[in-house]
């Protein structure tokens, strides 16, 4: 097989500007593209240094808030949970699970994320 990694996936959002503020300002992601292509706004963000990017609202047929269980990895879950709370993100955890420590949060549309200790 020659597939090497997931490059981009779509996160369905209802308001690009609100999503951009959440992902860039509250989560600390880098905005690497914000362009209009026909009827679609291509708003692309990524955690600093990550290989995978998120396109916010790039697929108009997807229902905002329908993406669940996206796993984000951190080297310091306690520090990241503290930082996210200080940035106004409502986050549950971290909690110890049989498979490791994790916390959960949602974006303004209800798309769900799991923050997991590396």
- pTM of this structure: 0.92
Omega prior to 88 cis, within 30 of 0: no
In a domain, 57, yes or no: yes
pLDDT in tens, 73-99: 999 999 999 999 999 999 999 999 998
In a domain, 96, yes or no: yes
**The pLDDT of residue 58:** 67
In a domain, 108, yes or no: yes
Range of the domain at 94: 8-117
**The pLDDT of residue 75:** 94
In a domain, 1, yes or no: no
In a domain, 3, yes or no: no
In a domain, 15, yes or no: yes
Instruction: Say how many domains are in the chain.
Output: 1
CATH number at residue 95: 3.10.180.10
In a domain, 2, yes or no: no
Report the distance separating Cα 47 and Cα 30, nearest Å: 6
Residues of the chain with pLDDT under 50: none
In a domain, 53, yes or no: yes
**The pLDDT of residue 23:** 98
């Amino acid at each position: 097989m020659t597939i090497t990694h997931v490059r981009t996936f779509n996160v369905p959002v209802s308001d690009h500007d609100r999503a951009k503020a959440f992902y860039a300002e509250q989560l600390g992601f880098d905005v690497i593209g914000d362009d209009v292509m026909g009827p679609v706004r291509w708003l692309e963000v990524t955690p600093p240094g990550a290989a995978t990017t998120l396109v916010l609202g790039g697929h108009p047929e997807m229902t905002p808030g329908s993406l669940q269980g996206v796993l984000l990895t951190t080297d310091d879950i306690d520090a990241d949970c503290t930082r996210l709370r200080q940035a106004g993100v409502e986050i549950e955890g971290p909690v110890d699970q049989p498979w490791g420590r994790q916390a959960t949060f949602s974006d303004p549309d209800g798309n769900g994320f799991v923050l997991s200790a590396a």
